[in-house]
Chains A and B, each alone.
Chain A
Amino acid sequence: MMKPLLKHFYKCIAIAACVCASAQHASAQMENDGIMIPKNYICAGPMFSTSSWTNYWEGTFKRNNGNIGKVTTNMYSFMATYGITNNLLVTAGVPYITSKASAGTLHEQSGIQDLSVNLKWRAYRLKTDKSILSLFASVTGSIPLTNYEADFLPLALGSHSKDFTARAVVDYSYGKAFVTGSGAYTTRSNITIDRSSYYTTELIYSNQVELPKMTDYNFRAGYRSKYLIVEGVADIMTSLGGFDIRKNDMPFPSNRMNMTSVGGNVRYRIKSFDGLEFEAGDNYVVKGRNVGQANMIHGGLTYIFGVAKKKKVQDKDSFKN
C-alpha cells in the first residue's frame, strides 16, 4: 500500500545517497543532514534499496492481507552532487523501481520514477574550540520522468506528482559527536489518473486528484569523523489532509499517509582508495496510518572527484559540517 510515502522515502534516500568523500575529508551529504561538499567537486554513484512490508494500516486498523502477501519494492538509483560553492551544492537523482506482491494476482510494476533535484545552502556556520553550529536551508523539486500508473496502489511506483519541498536544518557537533534536526514542508501538484471518477469521502467526477501537503521532521545523532559516520535516525512524516482507507477498501493516492520510522546508517570512507565511500543503513516504520509497515535496507557506493583545474581547496575545514 501507499507507495507515495515510500516514494518520498526514496527521494530522501536518493539524495541521502550521495555519500561523498573529498581528498581531504570524508563528507557524506544529504538533504536532511549537516554536511557539505567542496566547491567544484562532484560526487556520484549508484544506490540500491529494498523495502518490504506485510502489515499495513487501513486508517488506524493494522492488518495483513492474504491477497497481496508481502509487498517488495526495489530501487536502483544513480545520483550526483556538485559543489557550486563551499556553501552551496546541488544534487540530482533518478531511481528505477520495481514493485511486486508475493500473493494475489496484481501485476508487478517497474520503471523509471521521478527526477529530483536538491539545492542545499549553508546559511550560517559558527565554529568554536571544539564545537560547530551550522544552519542550512534546502529546496527540492521532483518531476515524474515516465508515465507510470499512480492509481495502482499498493504497487504504484509513486504518486506521479510534481513535488516541491523546503527544508531547514540545524546541525551541531562537539568533537566527533553530532546531532542534526530538520523540518520540511512539501506541496504536491494535482495528479491525473486514468479514471473519470473516484470516491474519497464523496464521489468526485474528475480525473484530477488533489494530494495532501506533507510535513517531515528528521532527527539524527551519532559519531562523525573523517573516515566513519555512524548515526541513528528518526523520521516523522505527516499528511496535512487526505482520507483514511476504510476497512478492506482499496488504497488511493490521496489517502492520509503518515509514518514514523527509526533506523541507523553507517558510512565508511576507504583510506586506501581516496574518494571512494560506502554507505549502508536500515529503516523501519514503527507507526503508520494508511501505509505499509516497511523495513528498508539501503546501500550505496560513491566516488568524489574535483573538476576545477588544479585549484586546490584552501580551507580543509570547509568540507566538514
Chain B
Amino acid sequence: MTMKRIIQNIATVLSIAVIASSLSSCRKDVISKVNQYPSLAPANLDLNADTWKPVLVADPTVFTVAAPDATTSPAYIADLNEIKGYQRSLTDDQRAVIKYWSAGAVLRWNEIMRELVAKHNVPPYQNPDGTYPAPSSTNPFNYPEFPFSNPPYAARAYAYLSAAEYDALIVAYHYKNQYNRPAPYKNDATIQALIPKSDLPSYPSEDAVVAGAAVQIMKMMFPTEIDYIEQKAEEEKQYRIMAGANTRGELNAGEALGIQVANVFTARARTDKAGTAGGNKTLWANLASQTTAKGETAWVSLETPKRPPMLPLFNKVSPFLFDTLTVVALRPGPPHSTGSAEFAADQKEVLYYSQHATRANEALVAFWADGVATYTPAGHWNAIAADEFVKQHYSEVRWARNFALLNMAEMDAAIVCWDTKYAYFNPRPSQVNNVVKTLTGVPNFPSYTSGHSNFSSAAATVLTYLLPDRGTKFTDLAQQASLSRLVGAIHTRQDIEVGQTTGKAVGQYAVQRGQSDGAGIGN
C-alpha cells in the first residue's frame, strides 16, 4: 500500500467512526423539569389574604413597615432609573435569571430547600473506633457537616420555611393593601414589565418578603450554605428590578419584613426540642432493654458498624398542627408481637417479595426510595405538589399557604411516626430474617410504622383537599409509595397499613386548619 492509500483508508475509517458516533450515541442535554415552569400569572390576586389565619403571627401591626416614599420623591425616581438602566441592556444571562425566578418566589425557595436537603442528606462516616460522629450546629463546617438532613430533619425544615413564608406574606398583604402602591410599570410607561403584569400593590415586594423569610430559615437550617443562600436572594431581588416588577425600595421593605417574621419562627425552632432529638447512649440502650423486657425482639441497627438509631427523641419536637398530648393520642396500638403467628405471616410475605423481585417492583422501589442524597419523602411530595400548583396559577400567598399546610402535616407526621417507631422499637424484616434482601437501603430506625406511609398519606390527604378535582391521584400515589416499601422488603404490610392510617389522621388536622383559615381552596 502506498502512504497516500493508507492515509485515505484511515481517513475513511475515522469519518465512518464520527458518523456512527453521532448517530448511535444520541446524547441530548438533560433538561431539569423545573426549568420549564412558566411565569407566574396568578388567576386570583387573593387580595383578602391579610384576613387569612397565620401560623404563629398574631398581629401584623407589630412588624414595622415604613410608609413608602411618594412616587414623586427623588428616591422613587432614582429607583425607577435603576430599573431603566438594567432594561437598556439586558444580557442573555440576565434574561435567564428573569425567566427562572418569574415562576414564583415560594416555588423557587421551596426548590432551593429541596436541593439543600438532598445535598446534606448523607449519613456521617464512622470514626476509626466504630462510633459515629454527630453533626454539630455550633460547629457546622466540621466533618460531619451540619446538618445530616434525614427525613425528619427535612420535614421540619420544609415546614418552617413554608410556614414562615406564609405568615410573612399575610403581613405583607396587610401593608400592600394599606399602602396600595402600583407596580413600577404602572407608574412609568417607559418601564417594561418583563413578567406578566399584576394589579397587586407592589409595596412591600412579595418576592423580597419571601426571600427575607427564606434566607433567615435556611441560614438556621443549613448554616454552611449561607453564602449560596444569600447569593440566591441577591439574584432574586435583582430579577425583580430587571423585570420592572419592583423598585429597590419595595424590595428593601419586603426583605426587612420577611426577616422580622421569620425571626418569630427561628425563635420557635431553637426551642422546639429538635436539637436534642438525637438522644444519647443511655437512651439508646434503654430503648432496647425496655422492648426486650416486654418479651419483644428489639430493633438493632443493620449497619456495620452499628449506627445509633436516627433521632429517637424526634417525638418530643413541638408539632405545628396539634399539641404534644395529641402526638401520644395519635400513636397507634402495638405491632404484632414478634413471637406471634401474625408477625411470622407478615415476615413471610416480605420474604416472598424479596425472593421474587420483579423489574417493575425494582422501578417502584427506586422511584419512591427517597434515600441518601435525595430530598427525602417530604421533599418528593413537595415536588409532586409543585408540579400541580404550577398548573393552578396560584398567587404567591396561596402557594405559601398550601405549602405550609402540606409541610406542617409532613413535619407532624414525622413526629407522630417517630413517636410510634421508638415506642415499640420494632425490628426490620432483614433483622428478623437475614435472608431478606432489600431493593434499596434499609433506613437506620425501627420498622413500625412505615415513615413513607405516614409522609405519603398525610401529604395525599392535604393535596386531595387542596385539589379535589384530581380525584384519587394523590391517594393512588401514596398507595404506591407505601407498597414500594413492602415489595422492596423494607417493611411489613402492617407497617405500611397502620402508617397510612396515622398519616391520614395527621393530614386531616392540616385539612381542618385549611378549612378554617379563611383562604378556602381557591381557584
Residues of A bordering B, CB below 8 Å = 63, 66-67, 103-108, 121, 123-124, 135, 137, 139, 141, 147-149, 151-152, 162-164, 166, 187-190, 193-199, 202-206, 208-210, 246-250
From B20, B115, B383, give the contact of A139 (CB < 8 A): B20
Name the B residues within 8 Å of A149 (CB-CB): 359, 362-363, 366
A241 to chain B, nearest CB (A): 11
Query: Are the CB atoms of B115 and A105 closer together than 8 Å?
Result: no
User: Chain A contacts of B9 at CB under 8 A?
Assistant: 123-124
Q: A144 to chain B: closest CB distance in Å?
A: 12
Q: Does B438 contact A (CB under 8 A)?
A: yes
Q: Which residues of A contact B26 (CB under 8 A)?
A: 162, 189-190
**Docked-complex contact B366 and A137, CB < 8 angstroms:** no
Q: Are A204 and B10 in contact (CB under 8 A)?
A: no
Other than the given A137-B17, A203-B111, 20 more pairs (CB < 8 A) read A66-B304, A103-B304, A105-B434, A107-B357, A149-B363, A164-B20, A187-B21, A187-B24, A188-B25, A189-B26, A196-B383, A197-B374, A203-B32, A203-B115, A205-B383, A206-B32, A210-B30, A248-B124, A249-B122, A250-B441
A152 to B30, CA, bound (A): 20
| B368-400 CB contacts (< 8 Å) to partner A | 369, 371-375, 383
Contacts of A164 in B (CB 8 A): 20-21, 24-25
A87 and chain B: residue at smallest CB distance: B9
If the complex has contacts A67-B304, A139-B17, A199-B115, are A105 and B430 also in contact, measured as CB distance less than 8 A?
Answer: yes
The 4 closest A-B pairs by CB, nearest first: A66-B304, A194-B366, A107-B437, A166-B17
| A124–B27 touching, CB < 8 Å | no
Given contacts A189-B27, A205-B33, A208-B28, whether A199 and B119 have CB atoms under 8 Å apart is yes
Given contacts A105-B430, A107-B357, A249-B373, contact A124 B6 (CB under 8 A): yes
Take A147-B359, A206-B32, A208-B30 as given contacts and tell me if A189 and B366 are in contact as well, using a CB distance cutoff of 8 Å: no
- Asked, given contacts A137-B10, A208-B30, whether A203 binds B114 with beta carbons under 8 Å apart, the answer is yes
Q: Which residues of B contact A248 (CB under 8 A)?
A: 122-125
* Residues on A with beta carbons closer than 8 Å to the beta carbon of B124: 248
Chain A residues in 8 Å Cβ range of B122: 246-249
- A interface footprint on B1-42 (CB within 8 Å = 1, 0 otherwise): 100001001100110110011001111111111100000000
Instruction: Tell me, rounded to whole Å, the shortest Cβ–Cβ distance linking B441 to chain A.
Output: 7
A121 CB → nearest B CB, Å: 6
Report chain A residues within 8 Å CB of B28.
190, 208
Chain A proximity mask over B245-282: 1 for CB below 8 Å, otherwise 0: 00000000000000000000000000000000000000
Task: Tell whether, in the assembled complex, residue B366 and residue A193 are in contact, meaning their CB atoms are under 8 Å apart.
Answer: yes
Tell me if B489 counts as interface (CB < 8 A to partner A).
Answer: yes
On chain A, the residues within 8 Å of B442 by CB distance are: 105
Give the Cβ gap from B365 to chain A, nearest Cβ, in Å: 8
Query: Closest chain A residue to B355 by CB distance?
Result: A107
Q: Which of A105, A107, A108, A198 contacts B302 (CB 8 A)?
A: A105
- Taking the nearest CB of chain A, how far is it from the CB of B34, in angstroms? 5
Q: Is A194 a contact partner of B24 (Cβ separation < 8 A)?
A: no
Residue of B nearest to A211 (CB): B27
Task: Tell me the complex Cα distance, A106–B490, Å.
Answer: 11
29 contacts between A and B (CB under 8 A): A63-B125, A104-B302, A105-B438, A106-B441, A107-B438, A124-B1, A135-B6, A135-B10, A149-B362, A162-B25, A164-B20, A166-B21, A187-B21, A187-B27, A190-B28, A190-B30, A194-B362, A196-B367, A197-B374, A198-B373, A203-B114, A203-B119, A205-B33, A206-B31, A206-B33, A246-B122, A247-B143, A248-B123, A250-B371
Complex CA distance for A163 and B26, rounded to whole angstroms: 10
Contact across chains for B372 and A249 when beta carbons are under 8 A apart = yes
Q: Which residue of A lies closest to B29 (CB)?
A: A210
A208 CB contacts on chain B under 8 angstroms? 28, 30-31
Chain B min CB distance to A246 (Å): 6
Are the C-beta atoms of A205 and B32 separated by less than 8 Å? yes
Q: Which of A63, A103, A139, A209 contacts B16 (CB 8 A)?
A: A139
Please tell me if B214 contacts chain A, counting CB pairs below 8 Å.
Answer: no
Q: A256 to B459: give the CA distance in the assembly, Å.
A: 36
- Identify the closest chain A residue to B21 (Cβ): A164
Is A195 a contact of B366 with CB atoms below 8 Å?
Answer: yes
Known interface pairs A206-B30, A208-B30, A248-B124. Does A189 touch B367 (Cβ–Cβ under 8 Å)?
Answer: no
Contact B367 A195 (CB under 8 A): yes
Expressed in whole angstroms, the Cα–Cα distance for A206 and B12 within the complex equals 38
| B436: chain A residues within 8 A (beta carbon) | 105
Q: How far is the CB of B50 from chain A (nearest CB, A)?
A: 34
- B119: chain A residues at CB < 8 Å are 199, 203
Cα of A166 to Cα of B10 in the assembled complex, Å? 12
Question: Which listed residue, A107, A137, A139, A206, touches B354 by the CB 8 Å rule?
Answer: A107
Chain B residue numbers with a CB within 8 Å of A107 are: 354, 357, 437-439, 489
Instruction: Please indicate the chain B residues that have their CB under 8 angstroms from the CB of A123 in the complex.
Output: 6, 9-10, 13
**Interface flag for B93 (CB, 8 Å):** no
In the assembled complex, the Cα of A162 lies from the Cα of B489 at a distance in Å of 31
Report chain B residues within 8 Å CB of A199: 115, 118-119, 373-374
Contact partner, B437, options A108, A121, A163, A247, Cβ 8 Å:
A108
Whole-angstrom CA separation of A67 from B111 in the bound complex: 32
Which chain B residues lie closer than 8 Å to A193 at the CB level? 366
| CB nearest neighbor in B for A209 | B30
Nearest neighbor of B430 in chain A, beta-carbon distance: A105
Say yes or no: B362 contacts A203, CB within 8 Å: no
Q: Kindly list chain A residues whose C-beta atoms are within 8 Å of the C-beta of B25.
A: 162-164, 187-189
Nearest Cβ in chain B — how far from A45, in angstroms?
27
Given the complex, which residues of A lie within 8 Å of B143, measured CB to CB? 247
Q: B305 interface residue, CB < 8 Å from A? A: yes
Q: Of residues B10, B24, B438, B489, which shows the largest number of chain A Cβ atoms within 10 Å of its Cβ?
A: B24
User: Which B residues lie within 8 Å of A108 (CB)?
Assistant: 437
Bound together, the chains give a CA A195 to CA B143 distance in angstroms of 29
CB-nearest residue of chain A relative to B117? Answer: A203
Contact of B303 with A by CB under 8 A:
yes
A182 to B: closest C-beta gap in Å:
14
Residues of B within 8 A of A152 (CB): 362, 366
In the bound complex, what is the Cα–Cα distance between A187 and B27 (angstroms)?
A: 9
CA distance A249 to B372 in the complex (A): 7
- In the assembly, what is the distance between CA of A104 and CA of B28, in Å? 37
List of A residues within 8 angstroms of B369 by Cβ: 195
Whether the Cβ atoms of A137 and B13 lie closer than 8 Å is yes
Q: How far is the CA of A181 from the CA of B25 in the complex (A)?
A: 26
Residues from chain A with Cβ under 8 Å of B366 in the complex = 149, 151-152, 193-195
Q: Which A residue's beta carbon lies closest to that of B428?
A: A105
Tell me whether A162 and B24 are in contact (CB under 8 A). Answer: yes
Query: Given A137-B10, A197-B374, is A106 in contact with B438 using a C-beta cutoff of 8 Å?
Result: yes
List, in ascending order, chain A residues with CB within 8 A of B371's CB.
250
Q: How far is the CA of A137 from the CA of B17 in the complex (A)?
A: 10
Roughly how many angstroms separate A248 CA and B444 CA in the complex, as a whole number? Answer: 14
Which among A137, A162, A164, A205 has the highest number of chain B CB atoms within 10 Å? A205
What distance in Å separates the Cβ of A75 from its nearest Cβ neighbour in chain B?
20
Give complex CA distance A124, B32 in Å: 48
